[in-house]
Amino acid sequence: MTAQIQEIIDLLEMQPHPEGGFYKETYRSVGAITSESLSSDYSGPRTYSTCIYFMLVSGKFSAFHKINQDEVWHFYDGSPVELHTISPDGKHASHLIGRDFKKGQVPQLVVPGNHWFASKVSEPDTFSLVGCTVAPGFDFDDFVLAKRETLQRSYPQHEEVIEAFTH
């Protein structure tokens, strides 16, 4: 990891994320949604919304995982993020979150709830800094990290991308 990347991690007070990369929660609403108002996918009450900084470093990836809620990604700095989604009915899509709009990159991307998703920096020797916002607020109880064999059994047509983005 370069000194520049370490400096950004330190300045923004980020810590390692279990899915890969580094993060810092920058916002957690005070208000909460009661369990009765949420679907049975949620194990308890949740805050209205949360937001994080999320930093990916070249050569590592954020492994396939899913959460119940939609997640909005916002591009901030560095190189574009390559993000893969697999929908519950098995459709794979790849996206580039970045600033080169002429090349089809987008500054904002919504990952629908309950879709498997994984990501990495699209270029070597650099980083991507993005924001991720969810509503209801994030809770590790809603976070499911994929097991490679289980995901490949569910979606054999996407064996290669699952191999590349699971541990």
| Binding interface with ligand GUN (CB under 6 A) | 17, 23, 25, 50, 52, 71, 132, 134, 138
Backbone angles phi, psi at 42, to 5 degrees: -100, 135
DSSP states along 51-106: EEEEEEETT-EEEEEE-SS-EEEEEEEESPEEEEEE-TT--EEEEEESS-GGGT-B
**Do residues 90 and 137 lie in contact, with contact meaning Cβ atoms separated by under 8 Å?**
no
Quote the CA–CA distance of 98 and 106 in Å, as a whole number: 5
Question: Between residues 25 and 123, which has the closer beta carbon with respect to ligand GUN?
Answer: 25
CB nearer to ligand GUN: pick between 52 and 162: 52
* Total residue length of the chain: 167
Chain centroid, CA 97 distance in Å: 12
Nearer to ligand GUN, 50 or 166 (CB): 50
- Output the six-digit token pair for 91: 């459709």
Closest separation in Å from C-beta 5 to ligand GUN: 19
Q: How far is the CB of 103 from ligand GUN (least distance, A)?
A: 26
Residue facing ligand GUN at closest CB distance: 138
**Pair type for strands 108-111 and 71-78:** antiparallel
In the complex, least distance from residue 62 CB atom to ligand GUN, rounded to whole angstroms:
8
Q: CB nearer to ligand GUN: give 73 or 155.
A: 73
From the CB of 102, what's the least distance to ligand GUN, in Å?
29
* Closest CB 119 distance from ligand GUN, rounded Å: 11
Of the pair 17, 148, the CB lying nearest ligand GUN is at 17
